[in-house]
Structure 1
Amino acid sequence: MQIPVFVSAPTHLNPSQEIVRARIVTLLEEFGFEPRALSRTDYPLDYPLREVAVIARSCFGAVILGFEQFRSLNGVSKLGTSMEQTLSEPRLFPSPWNQLEAGILFGMRRPLLIFREDGITGGIFDVGVTDVFVHRMPDSDPSMGDPQELRNVVLRWQVRVRNLYYAFD
């Protein structure tokens, strides 16, 4: 029996991002998890957010993959406030669905495992926002870095997921 977990990731990824997503999904499956997500074909006509909540209710944990989906090369942050700032370098943004899906699952008290690409910040990807550690996205080349590091991160998270799952048994 596989334990269902929600995976929040953009539908459209570049080849390098897709390799990382597939690597994480494969690892989840090796640990006995069934990755679940709202796909484009699942979108109801009116309320995709409601469908996310329906899927999330049957999941016992969540993996949030903060891949870059939009890049702003210039702009002004916090326009018209005392904190106004002209951007001096590109700003990277994840899918807004990462924020929505993470919020739903956090509200349901599901254990979160959060990864973000370098340069992704804001909301759920800010350090110290939740009691969850935000991890750097693994490299698309598994030979880069410590190959055991990703397994160890998932191993620590899966204990909380299994505790929640077996508490319902």
Structure 2
Amino acid sequence: MNELKVFVSVGGTATDQQESFVRAVENRLRAEGLIPCTVGRNTFSSDSPLKTVVELMNNCSGTVVIALERKYFSNGIEKRGGPSEVPITNVALPTPWNQIEAAMAYSRGHPLLVIVEQGISTEGLLEPGFDWYVQVVELKTEALTTIQFNSVLASWKGKLSTADAKPMAKANPSEMTVSELIGNTKPSQLYSFVAAIFALVAGAFALGAKLHGG
């Protein structure tokens, strides 16, 4: 059975605890027969980060989001200067790439496995209530062996085989290259296309022979 690649959205780790947790997630994915792929961690390119993310994600069957603390504010103000201004304390935020990559994955139909460090502000696509389950966990390896985590992981993994990991097709087929057209054609459609070409060529030869003989 071929191993499936999965895109892992995670920022650069800041502490040993964060690094150990990310490695534990990667090892758990490998134990499930999956290949974790992360730009800047195990995948590198001379292209821009966003272009590299696009190319890598197009070759993956699903996405794992690991949201870790990147920024911490002990005190701050929300909606500063407005009538709804409120003080905020102890706010922890993950890398914005978690939001960007989660949105890109969802637009491609990737099954999403979202893991959020306890204490992180769950906003945007890290907020519960969307088409995926958000697991808020402590950064301990034990969190990856609970009944809840195992059940969510099994459910997510079961969706990978039906995920469409092909690159997003261009809107106008006339702008696509031959290789892109073939790459975005289903096998049954490709066979029909080839058969039609052969029939057309055979018909042309037959008509030419008839006219020549006449």
> What's the TM-score once normalised by structure 2's chain length?
0.69
Confirm or deny: 8 A CA contact 2:109 2:164 kept in the other structure. no
Say yes or no: does 1:126 pair with 2:127. yes
* Alignment partner, residue 137 of structure 1: 137
Map Cα deviations across residues 48-70 of structure 1 (whole Å, 9 max, x no partner). 11111110100110000011111
Map Cα deviations across residues 48-107 of structure 1 (whole Å, 9 max, x no partner). 1111111010011000001111101111112233432111x2100001111111111111
1:12 is displaced (CA, Å) by 2.4
1:147 is displaced (CA, Å) by 3.5
What letter matches 1:122 in structure 2? Answer: E
Larger mean Cα displacement after TM superposition, 30-39 or 73-82 = 73-82
Confirm or deny: 8 A CA contact 1:62 1:112 kept in the other structure. yes
> What's the TM-score once normalised by structure 1's chain length?
0.86
- Work out the percentage of aligned pairs sharing the same amino acid: 26
Confirm or deny: 8 A CA contact 2:25 2:144 kept in the other structure. no
Considering only CA atoms, is the larger Rg found in Structure 1 or Structure 2? 2
Any unmatched runs of 5+ in structure 2?
Answer: 166-185, 188-214
More helix by percentage: 2
| C-alpha RMSD of matched pairs (Å) | 2.4
* Alignment partner, residue 31 of structure 1: 32
Q: Helix, strand or coil: the match of 1:163?
A: coil
Say yes or no: does 1:15 pair with 2:16. yes
Any unmatched runs of 5+ in structure 1?
Answer: none
Q: Helix, strand or coil: the match of 2:7?
A: strand
Alignment partners' CA distance in 2, 1:84 and 1:109: 38
* Alignment partner, residue 108 of structure 2: 108
* Alignment partner, residue 78 of structure 1: 79
1:11 is displaced (CA, Å) by 1.7
2:44 to 42, 45, 51: 42
Where relative contact order (Cα < 8 A, 6+ residues apart) is larger, the structure is: 1
